[in-house]
Structure 1
Amino acid sequence: MTATLPTRPRTTSLRDLARGLLAALALVVFVLGVPAALIALAPLYLPDDIPSPSQITSVLTGPDDGTLLLGALALIAWAAWAVFSASVLLELIAGARRTSAPRLPLLGGVQRTASQLVATAGILLALSSTTVARAAPAQAATAPPVTAQLRPAQSDAAAATPYNEPTTAPLPVLTQAEPALPVVTVQRGDTLWGIAERHLGSGPRYAEIRDLNTGRVQPDGRTLTSADWILPGWTLRLPADASGVPTEHPATAAAPRTPAEQQAITVAPGDTLWDVAATHLGDGARYGEIADLNRGRPQPDGRTLADADHLRPGWVLLLPPSAAPAPADPSLNLDAPTTAGADSETATPTAQDPGVPRTAAEQPQELLGPLRIAPAPPVEPSTQDAEAAPTIEDDQEVDELDAGAQRTWFAGLTALAAAGLIGELTRRRHRQQRARRLGERIPLPERGTPAARAESTLRSAPTPVSIEAIGTTLINLGCRCFDGGRELPRVGALLLDETTLTLLLVEDDPDAIAPFVARDSRTWVASTAEVAAETEIDDPDRCVPYPLLVTLGHTDGATVLVNLEACGTLAILGDDAAADEVLRALVLDAATSDLAGRLCVCVPPDDELTDLTAAFEPQRLRTVHSSDERETTTSAVSQALAAQGLDDTHQARGDRQAIDTWLPVTYVERTITGSACQPWTGTAVLTRQQATDSGAWTLTTDPHGAARLEPLGISVQPQRLDLNHLAALRDVLEVAVPPAPTSSPPPALAPLDEELQIVRDAHPAPPGPSSPDAQVIIRVLGPIDITGLPDGNGPLSPRMTELLVYLALHGPATGADLDEVLYNGARIKPGTRNALVYRTRRHVGEHALPLAGSDGLYRLGDAVTSDWDEFQRRLAEAVRADCGTPIERLTEALSYVRDRPFRGISGAEYTWADYDIQRMTEAIADAATLLARHQLAGGRARDALCSALRALAVNPYSEVLQHLALAAAESGHGADRAADLRDRFAHQGFELEADLPL
């Protein structure tokens, strides 16, 4: 089937020219006309002499004949002109350098106006190249018609192969060829003007690029609609005379008889490039070819392959061209499985087909021609140890993880809710570390218990963008609205997927605020890259504009967050068991997530949720015994708002008035007491009863896990907590309940001899002496680093590094142990782990990672040690009763500490190491405490301060170390240094909501 599609781009319209003319005229008037008028009407005269203070006072306090007023107005007018002109100049310089203009404090509105005028005025410059501008579109207009081919359906055998099922982004069945035009991938900071300057030699020709790409679907699903808005990762077609970029080759040019297809596979959970190369190329060692072909190529989730060991399920990988020619008969079923034979076993790279690019940088994804899923050739099950040969083959009988089985829930919660709960756990552990005394261990869930497994599961939850970044973006949105003198948008819900953050408004507001753009009057969208790039605006009066955002669940491709303030009342209806589980998840999320402001949630007495209160501080989750407390709170907020002429709490936050009404309270009422809650009234209600108020929101559930949120009309799979998950999470939180605040100072330190005994009992030496032959050092007391590796093998991949770190801390280990920690418990192909061990051994040498012994255990060789082992040995030597040089030994121990243990890892990495990090932190704090105490006793106050501050870089919240640092500062540096430290420590305590006096 063929279809002729129009390819003629639109040229510059009269409306564009009129807009450009008006913008240029406005710039001329403001930049040149205003100063000319001011010189004529309000010139500034400098005095001959500098006025004395008495003269200034006389002018300001004496009668004014109008001179002072006119002079002040003239100064204001000149200052306004200078600010605007400076903004225009910054925009012109930034445009010439193809960067974004620096933001001037408090001048965001002026800069945005200047930026829009400069960009719009640039349209006029395109008139100077009108003749050139029409040449490329004319060529595009005569391009051959686009041909769309319907591909044959897959055979049943091919469709039944789990490995070949698409995950998050199935390949399209209908493909189309486009005209042969050069293509460029947008990088961060690019503009259409800059791209036109680089590749067309003239910035005004940006209009041609805009016309060629308007309406084309980009890798993130968006389309180009404005010349002012392009995003990194987009691929733009350029006119035929562009230079410095590859040219797109039509498929028919390479093979006139039939379009050649580019083989591709979809990544399944647990896949590695070695597995893919072994399965589809017959040799795992050829994984580098696949990496080179796909590096930098945009994937369906908007990311790119940067590390050969970091693949994500759902990615589509192109495969190198096969030695066997593609079938010429288009009627053949190209997706049918192939048969294993000598050809597939001995396949080698062939010369590159002219129509097939060698790297992703040379050819974007949509220009590679039709893609097809390459079937997995049958292979014999591997019975040999992976180290015996470089080719790693996998057992064909192993059940693969289906795309639909990709982990969506983490202990019943979404990834975003799991990240919020982990953030609350981290805050609590910091509070516990603050109150910890010498030799004590803060409590952690026992290994292997449901609570420990639940915490590990929560820590493995990846999010497209962090909760902190979302919170910063929303706070900045509030600041920009306030600076611009406009109302906050009334957000009812948020949708977060891999590439975008979407705000769903409950009232029309078509004028979006950066970084958002308006899809329609009630939908604002920003890319997750823009959200992650947001930095907190320096505004001391800023507030959290939406303090009751809670995670609700998943749609087909996004996480849904609902604003309980916009709901007022949210009735959870439908299947009783499912609705109860949804209510539990909402309550837990509201009480822990930073997006919900960690505000107070009130639950009824004698309810299953009442047991949760033991795991929370009273200001977070408490029981309500008075039936009219909610109505009393609502009435008080209403009166406070009315006294200042405000409509509701949302307006109060936007106008930064009635501060006491900014923090709403959530009430859980299975049966509504009194009337339903109205939106933006300072309170919200979660109920299991149908509300009589027609404005209440409803979430109707069914037994199969689906639900519908009205009035937004969103179909969602809500997060649900059954009683087992609730009990496990309650145990995790209960173990981490911070100690109650106290105004008393920490108890006096014990005598040094007693402290030595305390540390000796708490931190025994590691088994075995230090190896004198150790060449490779695995360093974890700071950013992870491995030194002493052989030269010439290249850097270790992240997963290789994690393997070595785990064996250094917990080896010897079984294969099942490695699977659990390296792949988060996911079922993987048998060859995956073996391939990883084999590649790691090739990098570090067999002396560092020997072959598995007869016991089947993986272990490191004698040539490897770790800074953690060496630290423990020095600490154990220092606290021995017969040690005559404890200061020297403790100093040696602390010399191994470079920073916080495992610093730099993301939240979802090294989730197995949380126990280790906590114990390392405790040992470092104890060693520094002993050392600082010895140094103070010896009159070495400056050394004591250095020791205490070094440990405070690892555990900044330790009250014992803070007091030692203050004592050392007062003794060795004076009161000023101690006052600075006291302010710093007080600020840290405030961040933890643990502002204890020092």
Structure 2
Amino acid sequence: MGQRVYVVQPPQGRYHDNLWDIAERTLGEGRAYNQVYDLNAGRQQPDGRYLELARLIQPGWLLVMPESAQTVDRVVAVPVEEPAQEPSQPASPGQNDPAQDQGAGARQGLGDITPARVPAVGGLLAAALVGLLARRRRLGLAGEVGQDAAELERLLRVGADADRVRRLDAVLRGLGGLSPVPRPYAVVLSDEACLLRLPRPLPQAPAPWQVHDQGLTWVLPAGQEPDPGAAPPLVPGLVTIGRDAQGADVLIDLASADGDVCVTGDPTMAAEVVGALALELCTNPWSARVVVAGVGLAPALHGMLAGRLRSPEELVRGARAPGGDTVLSGPRPGAVNAVMLVGGGEELPPLPPGGRTALVRTGTGSGSRWRIEVDASGSARIEPLGLVVTVTRATTEEVSGLAELVAPAPVDGTRPPVPDPPRPPVDAAALRAAPVRVHVLGRTLVEAAGPVERRRRSLLTEAAVCVALHPQGVRPDVLGAMLWPLGVTGDVVEATVGRLRQWLGHDAQGVPHLRQDAQGRLVMGPGVVTDWDVLRSLLNSSRSSPPGREASLLGEALRLVHGPVGQDVPGGRYSWLARVRVARQVETLVVDAAHRLVELVGDTDPDAAAAAVDCGLQVVDLSQVLWRDRLRLAARRGTEELERQVGALLDVSGADDLALVDPATAALVEDLAPGRGVRRVPA
């Protein structure tokens, strides 16, 4: 009978065939591109390449399509350079199947996996952006995104240097407590130390600071950062320019320029540098009280930074900074309290009086105090500071992907669909009885009967979870790229697959639970059950059940949930979770299930309703849908309980005013307890 196969068309002018358009033409819905991707991920194409991760499809590729595809011819076989192997027959009991006992690399040899190309935004800005995305997920605002945006998030996670951000923020908040107080014009941050470059020598520094270059450089070894508490950062105008040849981040203080900073050289690169500065000033923790305005920047930047990135007119009118300082008052003498970013050859807009606004612009550099000269390779020199770096940039593709990542999830009033429930359904009893159990709804855990070395268990758990969450299979080289995004040799991947197969063991017929399909992709056998399988089965059954049975199934489903997918994973691991849709789907489905259970039993069993809310908030801790459910339940117990829950919400959100968390939630509180107020009462 054969399969329906679509041939990727060559470019026509500027148009290139893509999965979204193919799905829209043949399946009637562009969002169905995931079905096409899942059918073809890892499948070898006539030119020897594969559809893997975010790689673009190429003209002449042959894409297997769902049976429902229209206007797509059916063929008997899909030709490739190397014909796919026939599925191996299960080994008879007591016999070993070499093709199943060895990894794909052992059959055909895995090459070394090169490091992922991390985004041009650099490690510090990547960490700030990952934090921004995490905050939106905590609020339940994240929606489904395309594969390219998901891949960007994975790469941001790979490149993010959260430890350096934490250390730098602590240093900047601690400077005001030193005597003398250093006011650096530049900071160099490496894994070993933090260096302050000072405009005038300060030969005496309090311990643990060390003095170098006759007092022109102060050095703080890593691990010696202070605990300044809630002290404001001393250098709010500090921005990242790039990384030097030794891998250290180089930052400059815009206030120290005492004039405008011009980014010159390659026009495209210069625009990308200014775009990165806008992103950093609007997302890093030490610039939170700085007003940022821009003109001539990418429109997507204004969209994703709405409320933080102002217009020049707002700046001139004296818009208030996020912390309450006006542009003219400022956070402290000598510091900028506003930054104007001008790109795209725009004319310079008027600036507020008082000289407290830093100006960064693109152009020729004529008349500027500091000049950042960037060439087409991304190398930049900062004059007159004499610093040379690989510059931090926000490319057009990265800005577009970020805009998609921060776009609000659509609200249409419909419940989210349950994605591809298992057939046949599996329940909690099946999970308990399975020979291999994979838990992802909270802390990851794999339960298997085979031997495993303690020191390798964490890595093998991640490998097992990765394969289990790719039911269509994942090639060994792709698995290696996911587990070791900074690169790994093929023999390490092969050995890891072998250890994983040994740990998961064999079924009653002697076939490994970790198998390979005809295309060499690693797949889990039917003896492997995940709690995600059970959750989908229960939620899908609940949708067609009468209210009483529905409530029972929802309660059973929520008892499986102990936190977000991959809770408390080791630092630097599981970056690939951004590529799979499971984490976002779990967040959406759990919030929906908890809210639905409150609707069903809130009047008759408030304790069960409260337990459902608690479960949902373990996954999306700032979900305003669930917090409003909690506040309504609290109001039934009296004003004192309502006030306690309002305080709890302010604590977990880190805000002093509920209206800043969510205006709809603040309106609900005012309706439940008129006159109560939604601000934190000062101690």
Q: So what's the TM-score if we normalise by structure 2?
A: 0.70
Check 1:688–1:387 CA distance in 2 against 1; reply closer, same or farther (3 A cut).
same
Q: Structure 1 unaligned runs (5+)?
A: 1-383, 435-441, 642-647, 654-661, 741-745, 751-757
The equivalent of 2:312 in structure 1 is 624
Structure 1 residue 804, shift from structure 2 partner:
0.4
1:503-582 equivalences in 2 (<5 Å) = 503-513=196-206, 515-520=208-213, 521-531=215-225, 534-535=226-227, 537=229, 539=230, 542-557=231-246, 558-568=248-258, 569-582=260-273
1:342-386: CA deviation from partner (whole Å, max 9, x where unpaired): xxxxxxxxxxxxxxxxxxxxxxxxxxxxxxxxxxxxxxxxxx869
- d(CA) in 2 for partners of 1:697, 1:664: 18
AA aligned to 2:303 is A
Check the 8 A contact 1:765/1:876 in 2, yes or no.
yes
Q: Residue 840 in 1 paired to residue 533 in 2?
A: no
Contact 2:442 2:562 in 1 (8 A): yes
Task: Kindly name which structure, 1 or 2, has the bigger radius of gyration based on alpha carbons.
Answer: 1
Asked whether the equivalents of residues 143 and 584 of structure 2 are also in contact (C-alpha less than 8 Å), the reply is no
Structure 1 residue aligned with 2:606: 941
> Counterpart of 2:265 in structure 1: which amino acid?
G
1:791–1:858 distance in 2 versus 1, CA, 3 Å: closer
Does residue 136 of structure 2 align to residue 443 of structure 1?
no
2:257 is the counterpart of 1:587: no
Q: Are 2:482 and 1:810 equivalent residues in the alignment?
A: no
1:781 and 1:897 in contact (8 A); partners too:
yes
Retained in 2: the 8 A contact 1:412–1:720?
yes
1:888 corresponds to which of 552, 575, 596: 552
Q: How many angstroms apart in 1 are the aligned matches of 2:105 and 2:583?
A: 37
Q: Which residue of 1 aligns with 2:288?
A: 597
Bigger relative contact order, structure 1 or 2, given CA contacts below 8 A and separation 6+? 2
Matched, 1:967 2:632: yes
Q: Conserved in 2, the CA contact under 8 Å of 1:550 and 1:593?
A: no
Task: Please say if residues 318 and 328 of structure 2, whose CA atoms lie closer than 8 Å, have aligned partners that are also in contact.
Answer: no
Partners of 1:632 and 1:868 in 2: how far apart? 46
> What is the match of residue 455 of structure 1?
153
Instruction: Pick the aligned partner of 1:954 from 619, 625, 634.
Output: 619
Give 2:516's match in structure 1, choosing from 843, 852, 871.
Answer: 852
Q: Does structure 1 residue 823 correspond to structure 2 residue 484?
A: yes
Q: Does residue 872 of structure 1 match 2:536? A: yes
Structure 2 counterpart of 1:713, which letter?
G
1:130-188 CA-to-partner distances (Å, cap 9, x unmatched) read: xxxxxxxxxxxxxxxxxxxxxxxxxxxxxxxxxxxxxxxxxxxxxxxxxxxxxxxxxxx
Answer yes or no: is the 8 Å Cα contact 1:465–1:528 preserved in 2. Answer: no
Secondary structure, counterpart of 1:797 in structure 2: helix
Query: Deviation digits for residues 587-646 of structure 1, max 9, x if unmatched?
Result: 333333334327443222xx35345312321x322333599779999xxx99966xxxxx
Q: CA deviation at 1:987?
A: 4.2
What per-residue deviation string (whole Å, max 9, x for no partner) do you get for residues 256-301 of structure 1?
A: xxxxxxxxxxxxxxxxxxxxxxxxxxxxxxxxxxxxxxxxxxxxxx
Shift in Å at residue 963 of structure 1?
Answer: 1.7
Task: Describe the shift of the 1:628–1:858 C-alpha distance in structure 2 as closer, same or farther (beyond 3 A).
Answer: closer
Give the Å deviation of 1:837: 0.5
User: How far off its partner does 1:682 sit?
Assistant: 2.8
Cα 1:511–1:943, aligned 2, differ >3 Å: closer, same or farther? farther
What's the CA shift for 1:651? 3.4
Match of 1:417 among 125, 145, 168: 125
- How far apart, in 2, do the equivalents of 1:964 and 1:982 lie? 12
> How far has the Cα of 1:412 moved from its partner?
1.8
SS at match of 1:951: helix
- Pair 1:894–1:418, CA change in 2 (3 A): same
Distance 1:587 1:504 in 2: 24
Q: Quick one: which amino acid aligns to residue 497 of structure 2? A: V
Residues 851-881 of structure 1 deviation map (CA, whole Å, 9 limit, x = unaligned): 4244423122333211222222222233323
1:476 deviates by: 3.0
Give the drift of 1:552. Answer: 0.8
Contact 1:796–1:840 (Cα < 8 Å) also in 2:
no
Query: How much has 1:796 moved relative to structure 2?
Result: 3.9
How far off its partner does 1:942 sit?
Answer: 2.6
8 Å CA contact 2:164, 2:189 repeated in 1: no
Q: 1:651 aligns with which of 333, 337, 340?
A: 333
SS of match in other structure, 2:188: strand
Alignment partners' CA distance in 1, 2:562 and 2:315: 56
Q: Is the CA contact 1:386–1:838 (under 8 Å) kept in the aligned structure 2?
A: no
Aligned equivalents of 1:389, 1:412: Cα separation in 2: 35
Give the AA of the match of 1:666: M
Distance in 1, matches of 2:496 and 2:614, equals 40
In structure 1, the residue matched to 2:53 is none
Instruction: Give the alignment partner of residue 736 of structure 1, picking from 376, 388, 406.
Output: 406
CA offset at residue 981 of structure 1? 0.6
Q: How does 1:471-486 map to 2 (within 5 A)?
A: 471-478=169-176, 480-481=177-178, 486=179
Separation of aligned partners in 2, 1:466 and 1:495: 11
**Structure-1 separation of matches of 2:159 and 2:449:** 32
Counterpart of 1:712 (choices 385, 390, 408) is 385
Residue 560 of structure 1, CA deviation: 1.0
Decide which of 354, 357, 363 is 1:683's aligned counterpart: 357
**2:429 corresponds to 1:784:** no
Distance 1:910 1:815 in 2: 16
Could you say if the C-alpha distance between residues 856 and 567 of structure 1 is closer, same or farther in structure 2, counting changes exceeding 3 Å?
Answer: same
Q: 1:700 aligns with which of 359, 364, 373?
A: 373
**Structure 2 counterparts to residues 628-647 of structure 1, below 5 A:** none
Distance 2:466 2:113 in 1: 26
**Total equivalences in the alignment:** 547
CA contact (8 A) 2:128 2:283 kept: yes
1:711-748 Cα deviation digits (max 9, x unpaired): 32212221234xxx3244234224524599xxxxx99x
Q: 1:908 to 1:567 in 2, by over 3 A?
A: farther
1:491 alignment partner, SS class: coil
Give the Å deviation of 1:522.
2.4
Partner of 1:983: 647
Q: Which amino acid aligns with 1:899?
A: G
Contact 2:597 / 2:609 at 8 angstroms: preserved in 1? Answer: yes
Alpha-carbon offset, residue 980 of structure 1? 0.9
Check conservation: 1:571, 1:697, Cα contact below 8 A: yes
Distance (whole Å) between structure 1 residues aligned to residue 545 and residue 107 of structure 2: 56
- Distance in 2 of aligned mates of 1:389 and 1:528: 42
Aligned-residue offset at 1:492: 1.4
Q: Given the two structures, how large is their TM-score scaled by the length of structure 1?
A: 0.49
Identity %: 23
SS at match of 1:651: coil
SS in 2 for 1:953: helix
- Aligned partners of 1:844, 1:769: CA distance in 2, in Å? 22
- In 2, the alpha carbon distance for the partners of 1:579 and 1:934 equals 57
Do structure 1's residue 766 and structure 2's residue 460 form an aligned pair?
no
